[in-house]
Structure 1
């Protein structure tokens, strides 16, 4: 899980790096559009991992 989580986080960091320093009218829509899939993948990964963790 840790490796997959870090890979997804690295994807988000790369997206942030590409829009950093741009104006909000440029950066925000592109950041949201580009990061949507990475955030969805990270969420799915977390949901899958939570099912394997004991509730005790």
Structure 2
């Protein structure tokens, strides 16, 4: 479980439009513990509905 969340957190980036010399920048979408907790709850809920 820990490797999944580590990988999910590291790969949760999205290209966003920025003002300045660069047109786009990568922005991390999971940037706090509550985001990870919410994702975990969603994953568990889906598993309960699908598997159980």
TM-score (norm 2): 0.32
Give the number of the structure with larger relative contact order, counting CA–CA contacts within 8 Å between residues 6 or more apart: 1
Q: TM-score of the superposition, structure 1-length normalised?
A: 0.31
More helix by share: 1
